[in-house]
Structure formats: C-alpha cells, structure tokens
Amino acid sequence: MKKIIYITLCIIGILSFSCEKEKIETDPKKAILGKWEIVEMGNWPNMEPIEEPLAYEEYLPDSILGEYEYKTKNSYFKKYWIEGSTLLISTLREDGFELVFKYKYDFFDNNTLRLESYSVMMSNTSIYNRLE
C-alpha cells in the first residue's frame, strides 16, 4: 500500500512540474522583442479581423524596427523606443524630416500586443499576435 501511495505522489509531483505556466514577461522592452503580425484593426473595442496581413514587424534588441512586406519582399527599417507606457516609432521622410509616431501599448500576454495611436484617425487601435 505504501508503494502505491509513493508512486502516486511521484506521478503527481512530475505532472505538477511539467505543467508549469508560461511566465509573463513584465519588462515591455523585453516583451516587445520578436516578430509581430497584425490580426485586428479598428476603434477599441470595435475591432475588425485582418484576413490577410500584408507584412510583419520585427522589434530587435538594438531599437530597430524592421517591417517586411510579404508580397514585395521589401524591408523597411525604423527606430523605436519605449518611454513609460508609450511606444515611439521614428521614421525619416524622403526630405530627411523625422516623424515620430506615439502609441499606447498593452500586452495581453506574451503573444498578444495592442497598440493605440495617440493621433486622431479612423482606425486607431491594432492588435498583433507574435509569430513563432
């Protein structure tokens, strides 16, 4: 009887360690790293699904944001940084003028990101899913 209890406890112990939940990254500068693809767009909470995304974005550790278009296979690069609860993305126009776009960010988990534009636009909220 003691052997059965011991074996049962061992199995429960092994299962409890192997079923560990994914750790949620709390540092936004680390959480944003990686490839992201837009899946919804609209005015929060009224969102519309994006059936065929045109591109994905990749946030790199050196504050470079790469945008990769699927159809043309073109790449574009910008600068990004995080200040408090704001994600800032900088791009240069052809005349050399720097434009800085501001977004409020929110991570629902490690794999879902919501960006809300500070500017007044028709669609000011985007939802992204992390690509593996």
| The token pair that represents 68 in the structure block | 């990769």
pLDDT in the model for residue 122: 61
Place 8 in a pLDDT band, splitting at 50, 70 and 90: very low
Query: How far apart, in whole angstroms, are the C-alpha atoms of residue 96 and residue 27?
Result: 33
Cβ-contact 114, 94 below 8 angstroms: no
- CA angle (53 as vertex; 114, 126 as ends), nearest 5: 20
pLDDT in the model for residue 120: 65
pLDDT digits (tens, 9 = 90+) for 53-77: 999 999 999 999 999 999 999 999 9
